[in-house]
């Protein structure tokens, strides 16, 4: 016994002195025990809601505090505060419920539960703010399981602070003995950052009308997906009595891939997908609810009571942590015609055995048969005429934000402009957005009735399972951990997350093979491309002599200057000069420095459009390795202080050549890589150059050696190497941004390799990777060059897809505000 006590004491001291930013579970337990409200919990026999599991993990018990429902179809809610302030991750759920007493349970995450009582009737709502469904359990349904490495993020600055448990007691005959119920769920939480974050995507019809007696009525929902990839692992369907089958699909290139299909009359838990489904940028998510109006004598609308209907398809997914979004919604049908091609299975009801059916009690049952009138709702104490300010307050709450401002974080600014949001709100004002009876049914003179109608509709809207969110692409973004956030110098590099600017139109430019990129003094993007010429296996013989000179030089402009925002071509040059363009840089005077691998030459061009070079190096079409020749030179860098010129040479030479400002040969360094082991100063295709002005270094993308080497430019003295397993076998290009950031792109993996082609942000001082990024639109195939600006805007050019992408950090996106109809809408535009 003494040994056990000693061991516990040692364990406590370890916890107490832990240097982890996250409080240890033991200290959390003490603080939680002191602060938590006491529950009368006869079932558990104790109040131990929090149980430490390890240094980083703990279990949180969320149970009904000994309740006895008095009537069938009772919905009871209770809340538990997250016992830590820091971010944590829910990684597993263990239900505690009997199908004899509980019909189903839902667990929500939010910040403001609807009540601070031990428990309450859910008719009053679950949360007063936005909430996410984290877990669902229903009788006869499989349990929800999170894949390994996936967690729901809670706590911290962005995550939910409370869990709210909702329990539906269907048939209460089991409570004739007046026993107490403590159904609930135990959560397994950890402070260990999860590589993948779970989230919820709700597809919901808002305007479906089901005519009485109609045998089959479809409610269709479809939205374009404009985000980073998400991986679907579970789904849930929901309707009321009239729903026959709900089906959800991914549509890509006209092909429909089933996510899930289920009868909403079966237990409405989350069901695992039969086959993993990845959703990526450009896909369409589509869902159909099949209803019948048979047995009804009047129209049925979307609403929150049992006599109304609902059409919900929930997708539980996970995303890479740094791009994770906790909740997304789709409430529209962007392409009704596409549903002509929906698989026939979506139109076939699923037979359900009587003992498996779902009881549909939405916190209250309609007392007047199947007809529901908004004006027949029970009177409320607050029934007064709402003025415009009160209405906009309710609208703000409806959108899940504070009352004075509706904030809209739009991932894709082209998807829905502010005018659309205002129009959407105006539709609610005009009482036609939710599909309830038009306000014109009531007297225009009865302002009081119309105001109550508006208010009741919003109340109904709140009650749609307490999960309603702003429309598609208005989501709560999680702030993910930054890779390599240990030792890199924050005062120099800061937090940085790079994403594609998806509304930048430059991706649609008609270009040849993109070989070089640069930025001029006005931050305009300059592109060097090959027009109608292509470098392929027939371009050179074994002696590196160009074999297609009979084609003549490229006739179109090979150098394009683009507006960085609109991608409009401001001016162009480089006609009838080049055969196979490669590298591009711009000196401090605005001159263009380019290389041509077919000509084996380097040129200096004026930026004013003059079509003849100011300076030429090398001999046209003559490869060589002396001070007067190059062999497929790849890039140029010009020192802004000394004016010295550095050329990476190249595909068939393994050297860096230095010239004076007037073009005189000064020196060279480098040699071909040794077999088996590469040494400092050895190269296998020195492919790209960047001057690191803050540190006085010249860095080289040593392509086939999969590394970056940095030197003193004046002497060629080796300083350091940057190499990472994530680079794979090749590093194609490198670019330095003042302030300590180094950007790079790698090459496409060799057969059998698993390292993806991607771009990197690194801390130059430490060489540590801060972030990696890839495009959403199209894919990297051969990212050939990369350039970064002072404000960390990044461009990548690809020589296989003939594409240029623009990337930026979300924090650098331009904020703009508009104010219409008394509501300010803040948007983020890239």
Residues marked as catalytic: 103-104, 166, 168, 238, 240, 310
CA dihedral 796, 799, 803, 807 (to 10 degrees): -10
Q: Is 651 annotated as a binding residue?
A: yes
Helix 418-429 to helix 447-462 angle (10° resolution) is: 120
For residue 636, the cross-strand partners are 647
Six token digits for residue 199: 């989230």
Looking up tokens 């820091």 gives 86
Q: For residue 775, what is the DSSP state? A: -
User: Does the annotation flag 168 for ligand binding?
Assistant: yes
Torsion of CA 165, 166, 170, 172, to 10 degrees: 60
**CA pair distance 123, 100, nearest whole angstrom:** 23
Cα–Cα distance for residue pair 178/184, rounded to 1 Å: 19
Check if the beta carbon of residue 556 is closer than 8 Å to that of residue 532.
yes
Among 498, 489, 493, 514, CA closest to 760: 498
| C-alpha span between 626 and 635 (Å, rounded) | 17
Tokens of 39: 């529950």
Residue 241 marked ligand-binding: no
User: Does 103 show up as a binding residue in the annotation?
Assistant: yes
CA distance 798 to 804: 6
323 is in an annotated binding site: no
Radius of gyration, alpha carbons of the chain? 32
* Residue found under tokens 């650098």: 812
Tell me: is residue 575 an annotated ligand-binding position: no
Query: Which residue in the block uniquely carries the two structure tokens 């001016």?
Result: 571
Q: Is 332 among the annotated ligand-binding positions?
A: no
**φ, ψ for residue 313, nearest 5 deg:** -125, 115
Q: What are 557's strand-pairing partners?
A: none
Q: How far apart are CA 704 and CA 92, in angstroms?
A: 44
Cα dist. 139→3, 62, 107, 314, 825 in Å?
Answer: 45, 18, 15, 18, 43
Confirm whether residue 238 is marked as ligand binding. Answer: yes
The Cα angle at residue 282 between residues 280 and 287, in degrees rounded to 5: 80
Q: 316: annotated binding-site residue?
A: no
Q: Is 462 known to sit in a ligand binding site?
A: no
Q: Calculate the CA 443 to chain-centre distance.
A: 47
Cα of first residue to Cα of last residue in the chain, in angstroms, is 64
Question: 481 vs 196, 264, 291, 496, 826, CA distance in Å?
Answer: 11, 38, 44, 10, 26
560 annotated ligand binder: no
Q: Is the peptide bond before 650 cis (omega within 30 degrees of 0)?
A: yes
Task: Classify residue 2 by its DSSP letter.
Answer: H
Annotated binding site for Ca(2+): 517, 584, 785
Binding residue ranges for Cu(2+):
103-104, 168, 238, 240, 310
Which amino acids are annotated as binding site for Zn(2+), given as ranges? 582, 687, 784
Residues within the annotated binding site? 103-104, 168, 238, 240, 310, 517, 530, 582, 584, 651, 687, 703, 784-785
Task: Summarize the annotated binding site for a protein as residue ranges.
Answer: 530, 651, 703
């Amino acid at each position: 016994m003494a040994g056990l006590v000693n061991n516990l004491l040692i364990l406590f001291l370890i916890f107490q002195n832990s240097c982890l930013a996250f409080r240890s579970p033991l200290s959390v337990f003490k603080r939680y025990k002191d602060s938590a409200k006491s529950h009368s919990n006869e079932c558990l026999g104790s109040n131990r809601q929090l149980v430490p599991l390890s240094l980083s993990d703990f279990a949180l018990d969320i149970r009904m505090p000994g309740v006895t429902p008095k009537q069938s179809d009772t919905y009871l809610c209770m809340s538990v505060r997250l016992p830590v302030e820091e971010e944590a991750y829910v990684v597993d759920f263990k239900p505690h419920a009997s199908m004899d007493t509980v019909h189903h349970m839902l667990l929500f995450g939010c910040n403001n539960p609807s009540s601070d009582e031990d428990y309450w009737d859910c008719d009053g709502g679950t949360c007063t703010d936005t909430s996410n469904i984290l877990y669902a359990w229903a009788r006869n349904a499989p349990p929800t399981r999170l894949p390994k490495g996936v967690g729901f993020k809670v706590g911290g600055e962005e995550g939910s602070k409370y869990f709210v448990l909702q329990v539906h007691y269907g048939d209460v005959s089991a409570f004739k003995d007046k026993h107490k119920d403590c159904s609930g769920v135990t959560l397994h939480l950890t402070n260990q950052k999860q590589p993948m974050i779970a989230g919820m995507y709700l597809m919901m019809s808002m305007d479906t009308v089901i005519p009485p007696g109609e045998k089959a009525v479809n409610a269709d929902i479809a939205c374009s997906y404009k985000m980073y990839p998400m991986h679907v692992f579970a789904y849930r369907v929901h309707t009321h009595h009239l729903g026959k089958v709900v089906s959800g699909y991914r549509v890509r290139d006209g092909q429909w891939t089933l996510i899930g299909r289920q009868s909403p009359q079966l237990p409405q838990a989350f069901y695992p997908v039969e086959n993993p489904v990845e959703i990526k940028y450009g896909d369409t998510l589509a869902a159909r609810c099949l209803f019948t109006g048979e047995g009804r004598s009047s129209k049925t609308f979307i609403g929150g009571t049992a006599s109304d209907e609902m059409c919900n398809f929930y997708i539980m997914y996970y995303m890479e942590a740094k791009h994770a979004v906790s909740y997304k919604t789709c409430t529209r049908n962007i392409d009704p015609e596409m549903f002509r091609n929906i698989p026939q299975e979506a139109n076939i009801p699923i037979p359900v055995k009587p003992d498996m059916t779902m009881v549909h009690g939405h916190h209250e049952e309609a007392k007047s048969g199947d007809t529901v009138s908004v004006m027949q709702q029970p009177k409320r104490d607050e029934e007064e005429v709402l003025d415009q300010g009160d209405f906009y307050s309710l609208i703000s709450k409806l959108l899940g934000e504070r009352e004075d401002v509706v904030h809209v974080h739009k991932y894709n600014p082209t998807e829905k402009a502010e005018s659309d949001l205002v129009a959407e709100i105006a539709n609610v004002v005009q009482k036609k957005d939710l599909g309830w009876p038009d306000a014109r049914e009531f007297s225009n003179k009865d302002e009081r009735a119309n105001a109550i109608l508006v208010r009741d509709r919003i109340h109904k809207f709140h009650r749609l399972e307490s999960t309603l969110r702003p429309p598609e692409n208005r989501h709560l973004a999680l702030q993910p951990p930054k890779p390599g956030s240990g030792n890199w110098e924050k005062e120099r590099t800061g937090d940085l997350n790079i994403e594609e600017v998806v509304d930048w139109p430059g991706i649609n430019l008609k270009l040849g093979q993109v070989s070089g990129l640069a930025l001029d003094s006005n931050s305009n993007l300059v592109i060097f491309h090959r027009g109608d010429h292509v470098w392929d296996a027939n371009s050179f013989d074994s002696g590196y002599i160009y074999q297609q000179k009979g084609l003549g030089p490229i006739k179109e402009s090979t150098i394009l200057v683009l507006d960085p925002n609109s991608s409009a071509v401001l001016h162009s040059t480089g006609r009838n000069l080049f055969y196979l363009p490669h590298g591009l840089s711009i000196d401090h005077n605005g001159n263009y420095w380019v290389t041509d691998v077919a000509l084996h030459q380097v040129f200096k061009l004026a930026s004013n459009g003059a079509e003849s070079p100011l300076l030429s190096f090398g001999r046209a079409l003559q490869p060589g390795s002396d001070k007067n020749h190059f062999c497929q030179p790849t890039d140029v860098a010009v020192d802004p202080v000394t004016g010295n010129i550095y050329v990476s040479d190249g595909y068939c030479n393994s050297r860096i050549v230095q010239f004076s400002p007037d073009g005189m040969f000064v020196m060279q360094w480098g040699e071909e890589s040794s077999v088996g082991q590469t040494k400092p100063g050895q190269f296998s295709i020195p492919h790209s150059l960047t001057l690191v002005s803050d540190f006085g270094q010249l860095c080289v993308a040593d392509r086939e050696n999969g590394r970056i080497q940095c030197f003193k430019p004046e002497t060629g003295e080796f300083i350091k190497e940057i190499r990472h397993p994530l680079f794979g076998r090749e590093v194609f290009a490198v670019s330095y941004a003042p302030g300590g950031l180094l950007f790079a792109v790698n090459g496409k993996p060799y057969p059998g390799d698993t390292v993806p082609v991607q771009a990197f942000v690194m801390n130059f001082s430490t060489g540590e990777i801060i972030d990696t990024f890839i495009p959403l639109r199209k894919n990297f195939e051969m990212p050939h060059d990369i350039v970064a600006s002072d404000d960390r805007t990044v461009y990548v050019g690809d020589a296989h897809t003939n594409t240029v992408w623009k990337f930026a950090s979300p924090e650098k996106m331009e904020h703009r505000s508009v104010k219409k109809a008394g509501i300010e809408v803040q948007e983020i535009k890239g």
